[in-house]
Amino acid sequence: MISFLEKSANPRQPIEIQISGSKSESNRALILDQVLGGLDIANLSDSDDTMHLVNALKQLKTKSKTIKINVGHAGTTMRFLTALCATIPQQEFVISGSERMHQRPIKPLVDALNNFGAKISYLKNEGYPPLKIKGENLTKDKISIQANISSQYISALMLIAPKLPQGLNINLKGNITSRPYLEMTKALLEQQQIKVDFNQSQIKVHSSHSNSPTSVEIESDWSSASYHYALVAFSNEGFSVNLSNFNLNSVQGDAALRDIYKKFGVKTEQVDHKTIKITKINKLYSKIKLDLIKTPDLAQTIAVTCLGLNINCELSGLHTLKIKETDRLQALKTELEKFGGRVKISDSTLQLQSVGKLEPYQVISTYNDHRMALAFAPLALKTKLSIENPEVVSKSYTNYWEDLKQYGIIAKITK
């Protein structure tokens, strides 16, 4: 457990924060390196999720009849590897994960790949990991998949497409969720001179017969930056933080932070080609209404920010939160209500009616979800609290607790 019991009065300004590379970009770049070969990747994420993928890709080189890979809690790694391993002929794989990973659906991706000619079967429950995969030479060029469940299924297919003889036409069924993540995958493919056509219902990724891989510099992680936006929102007017290796013209969808947090009195400006400065200004809204279908990973941070600033909010587009590391909608409701917030949830929405004064000293449960710990910690600037299982933040932001010290937040970790 980590407890935040006091804070120093005046941290030095501006605070300088260096967050490691985006795990979303890093994981895509690692798969592309496996598919294309020869990529020079700089500023790779140091998150647990990315390290799981690094280790898994090393295992692909082992000489074993059946290669067994455990991805832990890393959902991206599970989905990306499922597609990749299906394309490796004459090799058998067993991919498993944590108990929670075995509760997270993967059927839409498996169905799409099996209809495409892959040989993937379930070892326990239908529709869920662990999986057994017999790699094949996949030669078709058309595949269909549900687009309204997880963008990671589609990105997984996009990333293997360059190694297929004729590329891949992906037919998208239903409304697209988290489209910015598909745009990110498209941008990274195009950086490697791979042509991608993307319209509302179809993606065409061309083959890479003449491709010459180049270097890739991973931008720092905008999802992780969100917690610093919350900290600045909770600070006094004029307080500022410099975040290095960020660009306002980012391929990451969560760069939408720069516009969303204007509503919380946070201004963003590019101070040089690799640094942004975020500053608290004295402008707040009394009620926030946002559709987060493109940026669902920001939901927890935004909800906690509204709670801390006593702002009512209505958040929609959250249907994917129920199949994350935990049911994030139910987890948010439970933890926000500990501080006195009144919360209503549906399958895709969250409504928060805040109260003037936060209930003092609450213990936050994380449900083995890194974003629960990361999102609630900034409330230490508003009230005393403790967070269970603090090590869970290493899934995406290894240095988080150290970075919080720069805000004058004094924490004590106990077992």
Residue 120, beta-bridge partner list: 133
| CA pair distance 174, 372, nearest whole angstrom | 30
Q: Which residues are annotated as a binding site?
A: 23-24, 28, 75, 104, 150-152, 178, 297, 324, 328, 371, 395
297 is catalytic: yes
Strand order in the sheet with 202-205: 142-146, 168-173, 202-205, 196-198
Q: Please choose, from the candidates 314, 303, 368, the residue with its C-alpha nearest in 3D space to the C-alpha of residue 337.
A: 303
Q: Please choose, from the candidates 303, 312, 316, the residue with its C-alpha nearest in 3D space to the C-alpha of residue 346.
A: 316
Q: Please choose, from the candidates 380, 369, 361, the residue with its C-alpha nearest in 3D space to the C-alpha of residue 304.
A: 380
| CA pair distance 380, 231, nearest whole angstrom | 9
Residue 385, beta-bridge partner list: 4, 362
Residue of 297, 327, 347, 403 with catalytic role: 297
Q: Which residues are annotated as a binding site for 3-phosphoshikimate?
A: 23-24, 28, 150-152, 178, 297, 324
Give how far Cα 412 sits from Cα of 83, 247, 302, Å: 43, 34, 25
Q: Which residues are annotated as a binding site for phosphoenolpyruvate?
A: 23, 75, 104, 152, 328, 371, 395
Residue 276, C-beta contacts closer than 8 angstroms, at least 6 positions apart: 242, 243, 246, 247, 248, 258, 268, 269, 270
| CA pair distance 359, 341, nearest whole angstrom | 9
- Return the beta strands (E) in 101-189 as ranges: 119-122, 131-134, 142-146, 168-173
- Which residues are marked as active site? 297
